Amino acid sequence: MSKVAIITGGGSGLGQSTALRLAEEGVNIVVVDIDEEGGNKTVEMVKKSGVEAIFIKADVSKADEVKNYVDQTVEKFGTIDYFFNNAGISGSGAYYLETDIDEIEKIVGINLMGALYGVRYVAEVMVKNGGGAIVNTASSAGVIGQDTVVTYSATKHGIVGITKSLVAEYAKDGLRVNAVAPGPTETPMVKSYFDANPKMKENAEQGIPQKRLGTPEEVAELVTFLLTSKAEYINGEVIRIDGGFTNTK
């Protein structure tokens, strides 16, 4: 029987690339995103691999909409085997004291509360069914301090805490929870951030020992490995995928 994966932020970037990579493994995909056009495009692409895929629109900062995408998945497929808890935004790139309170609340709502709501409802299903695998999207800004991303960094440090503490509570129930911490990666979110802060892209590339940004496909390969049974004894880890970027900090 085919496995089932939910991917939030699946309409573009890391989410879309991971959906496509998991589909190559025969995994049925539930794409969750607030962007209907992007989400439906991912579904069309995924179906070319011969698996089932559906799109569910959701604002992950709202608990009822998170519960809805979980309920719809269980109604459609009966279970949830894998969860890529990935939806997030970066913010404007303004220094913290120049950041509007509305922006702070929005970033925290999507990145941190959205992730907390996701694992709350998904893990409930997984534990009931004997286990499952979750990968949360942290960031290089979740393992070191970086300027212009104070709120974003706070949420990504929070992702690390969620990852480790869930394992402490529920590994005994068959739950595996890991996180990936990408450095600067060629996604629409990062491109938008660099477009607003051109100097930051040059600084990022120069600060990465491999002298280039990562690709969504590279991150998707890691996520797929962590979600599949090949990684059954990796639990509670935060794995950096950043070309050596945080190794030099």
d(CA 178, CA 189): 22
How far apart CA 121 and CA 130 sit, in angstroms, is 15
What are 71's two structure tokens? Answer: 């309920």
- CB contact set of 75 (below 8 Å; sequence gap of 6+): none
What residues act catalytically?
152
Q: How many other β-carbons are positioned within 10 Å of the β-carbon of residue 236?
A: 16
Assigned token pair, 47: 């179906």
Return the SS3 of 201: helix
* Burial readout 207-216 (b: 16 or more C-beta within 10 A, e: otherwise): bbeeeebbeb
How far apart (Å, rounded) are the C-alpha atoms in residues 90 and 49? Answer: 31
Number of separate helices (H) and strands (E) present in the chain: 9, 7
Smallest CA-to-CA distance from 26 within 54, 55, 42, 4 is with 4
CA dist 196 and 209 (Å) reads 24
Tokens 């493994």 map to which residue? 25
